[in-house]
DNA sequence: GATTATGATTGTTT
DNA sequence: AAACAATCATAATC
């Protein structure tokens, strides 16, 4: 230690003396400036010679070897490393030990949540592995320069923009089944790119490490410094990682929002489709539960999906029932009120009749659902002005299934027409209607005589 | 712009 | 698994 320090000190002194000798005493010789120039020239010449020497491989190797084998080398190495550490590297030290980037963590979390990153599903891993292998095969051994880094970033960006374009082309026409496929696509691209990224990062890191190890034979580069360098490289590459993850997240979000939009966007069916569906519903009113085949047929006729047909019938059934129920409840309440009034008013309880008439007493007459339906929309109320008024009073609040013909041009009025036209049979059954065995099951629950009817009403108290 | 109609989704029941 | 019921979100209507 002492020896070295002294040695270095001496070297320094010698160098200083030299310089002083050469430049510190300018007043010697005839033309000092000329002499100085020449001396500078000499020095430069020496430096150039040294540079040339170092380029000579055989010689350099020889020198390196000599240096390496020098008995003082390890000690010198450690001292120089120490000095370097204290001066240059201390600045970098302060920047280390950063907490993990919160944004990156967020991205990671989201990717895992969306199933893009994390535990692999399906064959994505093998594809990514293949891609990685392919990339490694084609990758030359050279170091990844700054330009390559940028190129890779641009490449990743481009890939994601093309992906985004693909989604934009599809517009709102994203089908339910497409979503999974597209997500899988994103996942695959992500994993492929992530593999490439890791590959590139590792290659570069390895290269740098090798380089530094090699140089550590001639330069004071401690293993610690190499580690630090690796850390720096990783940090630099993290920008690519971030970009990749961000792009992926973006793609997923866009895909998702598009999908949800498409899901949420409600487009009315065509008039014709609605007509066909209503026809079926009304002609199977006693049992409006189309079989799978019937649904397919309707779907084909209406140019909609089977599940849309199912939705339609589900909505239709429940809303039909609901509105019948509502109207009936109103009527019942009105009847109760008027009855109470009549009871109180001993003399003139005319209205009670009207309400009672409206009371859709279908079950009392033993009719099935179709019969009740007829009562709702039929003409038999016109026998009394009171009852008509009652009907008018009640029906507009029953939202839709009115005989008013102002709105719902295709709904009930059609049915009424159909029924009127087939005066003999209340229900226009097709010959192939095999659902008769279950006739009435749908409407029975609406029968006031049926306890289930009151359940229905109670379940929907708000009118 | 408030209201109603209607297709779709979600959670529960049967 | 199909149906039901409640609800959402948007289209259509007043």
pLDDT in tens, A251-310: 777 776 666 666 567 889 999 999 999 999 989 988 999 999 999 999 999 999 999 999
pLDDT at A272: 93
A264 touches strand C (CB under 7 A): yes
The reply to whether A86 Cβ lies less than 7 angstroms from strand B is no
User: Each residue of A190-234: pLDDT tens digit?
Assistant: 888 888 888 888 888 898 888 888 888 777 888 888 888 888 888
- Burial of A116 per CB tally in 10 Å (0-12, 13-18, 19+): buried
pLDDT of A152 over the 80 cut: no
> Is pTM, for the whole model, over 0.75?
no
The answer to whether A71 CB is within 7 Å of strand C is: no
Quick check: A463 and A326 in contact, CB under 8 A?
yes
So what's the pLDDT on residue A416?
A: 32
State the helix-helix crossing angle for A176-215 and A124-138, rounded to 10 degrees.
Answer: 40
- pLDDT, position A97: 64
Residue nearest to nucleotide C8 (CA to C1'): A264
Mean pLDDT for A103-110 is 83
Please state whether strand B lies within 7 Å of residue A407 at its CB atom: yes
Question: How far apart (Å, rounded) are the C-alpha atoms in residues A108 and A8?
Answer: 52
pLDDT of residue A418: 31
* Farthest CA pair distance, chain A: 148
Nucleic strand C contact set for A 108-167 (CB, < 7 Å): none
Provide the CA A174 to C1' B13 distance, Å, integer: 32
DSSP, residue by residue, A331-342? HHHHHHHHHHHH
A451-460 burial by CB neighbour count: b if 16+ within 10 A, else e?
eebeebbeee
- Looking at chain A, how many residues does it have? 463
Separation of alpha carbons A188 and A96, rounded Å: 34
Residue A379, both tokens: 């003409």
Residue nearest to nucleotide C12 (CA to C1'): A268
Q: Which of A251, A254, A232 is nearest to A193 (CA)?
A: A251
Can you tell me the distance from the alpha carbon of A253 to that of A264, in angstroms, rounded to the nearest whole number? 16
Report the 10 Å Cβ neighbour count for A174. Answer: 18
Return d(Cα A457, Cα A252) in angstroms, integer: 45
Query: Which residues 404-463 on A are within 7 A of strand C at the CB atom?
Result: 406-407, 442, 456, 459-460
Cα(A207)–Cα(A139) distance, integer angstroms? 13
Distance A45 CA to C11 C1' (A): 88
Domains in chain A: boundaries: 2-95, 102-264, 271-459
Checking if the pLDDT of A189 tops 90, the result is no
Q: Given its phi and psi angles, is residue A20 left (phi above 0), alpha (psi -120 to 50 degrees) or beta?
A: alpha
Confidence band, pLDDT 50/70/90 cuts, at residue A43: confident
Distance A407 CA to B1 C1' (A): 20
Any atom of strand C under 7 A from CB of A310?
Answer: yes
Q: How much is the pLDDT for A454?
A: 32
Q: Output the distance from A154 CA to C9 C1' rounded to whole Å.
A: 40
Chain C footprint positions (protein CB, under 7 Å): 2-7, 9-14
The separation between the first and the last C-alpha atoms of chain A, rounded to the nearest angstrom, is 98
pLDDT for position A116: 77
Q: How many CA atoms lie within 13 A of A16 on its CB side?
A: 6
Which of A's residues 208-227 have CB atoms within 7 A of nucleic strand C?
A: none
What's the pLDDT score for residue A141? 39
* Cβ contact A224 with chain B strand, < 7 A: no
Inter-residue contact A282 to A418 (CB < 8 Å): yes
Quick one: DSSP state of residue A381? Answer: G
Q: Which nucleotides of B are covered by protein (CB under 7 A)?
A: 4-9
> The domain at A271-459 falls in which architecture?
Orthogonal Bundle (1.10)
């Amino acid at each position: 230690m002492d020896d070295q320090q002294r040695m270095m000190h001496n070297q320094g002194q010698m160098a200083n003396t030299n310089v002083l000798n050469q430049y510190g005493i300018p007043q010697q010789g005839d033309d000092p400036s000329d002499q100085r120039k020449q001396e500078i020239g000499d020095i430069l010449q020496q430096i150039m010679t040294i540079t040339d020497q170092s380029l000579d491989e055989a010689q350099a190797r020889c020198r390196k070897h000599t240096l390496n084998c020098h008995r003082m080398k390890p000690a010198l190495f450690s001292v120089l490393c120490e000095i370097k550490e204290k001066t240059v590297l201390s600045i970098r030290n302060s920047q280390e030990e950063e907490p993990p980037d919160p944004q990156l963590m967020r991205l990671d979390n989201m990717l895992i949540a969306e199933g893009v990153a994390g535990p692999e599903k399906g064959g994505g891993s093998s594809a990514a592995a293949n891609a990685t292998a392919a990339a490694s095969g084609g990758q030359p051994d050279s170091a990844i320069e700054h330009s390559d880094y940028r190129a890779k970033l641009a490449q990743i960006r481009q890939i994601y923009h093309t992906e985004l374009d693909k989604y934009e082309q599809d517009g709102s026409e994203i089908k339910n089944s497409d979503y999974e496929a597209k997500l899988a696509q994103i996942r695959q691209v992500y994993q492929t790119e992530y593999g490439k990224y890791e590959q590139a990062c590792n290659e570069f890191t390895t290269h740098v490490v090798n380089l530094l190890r090699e140089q550590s034979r001639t330069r004071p580069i401690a293993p610690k410094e190499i580690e630090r360098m690796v850390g720096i490289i990783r940090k630099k590459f993290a920008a690519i990682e971030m970009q990749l993850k961000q792009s992926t997240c973006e793609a997923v979000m866009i895909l998702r929002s598009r999908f949800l939009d498409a899901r949420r966007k409600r487009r009315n069916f065509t008039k014709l489709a609605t007509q066909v569906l209503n026809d079926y519903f009304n002609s199977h009113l006693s049992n409006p539960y189309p079989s799978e085949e019937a649904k397919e047929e309707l779907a084909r006729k209406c140019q909609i999906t089977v599940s849309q047909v199912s939705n339609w019938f589900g909505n239709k059934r429940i809303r039909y029932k609901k509105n019948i129920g509502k109207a009936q409840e109103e009527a019942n309440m009105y009847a109760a009120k008027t009855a109470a009034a009549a009871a109180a008013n001993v003399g003139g309880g005319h209205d009670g009749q009207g309400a009672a008439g409206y009371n859709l007493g279908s079950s009392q007459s033993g009719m099935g659902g179709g019969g009740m339906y007829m009562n709702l929309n039929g003409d038999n109320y016109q026998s009394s002005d009171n009852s008509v008024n009652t009907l008018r009073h009640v029906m507009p609040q029953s939202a839709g299934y009115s005989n008013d013909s102002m709105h719902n041009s295709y709904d009930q009025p059609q049915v009424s027409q159909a029924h009127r036209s087939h005066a003999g049979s209340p229900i226009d059954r097709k010959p192939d209607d095999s659902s008769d065995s279950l006739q009435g099951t749908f409407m029975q629950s609406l029968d006031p005589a049926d306890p289930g009817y009151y359940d229905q009403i109670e379940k929907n108290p708000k009118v």
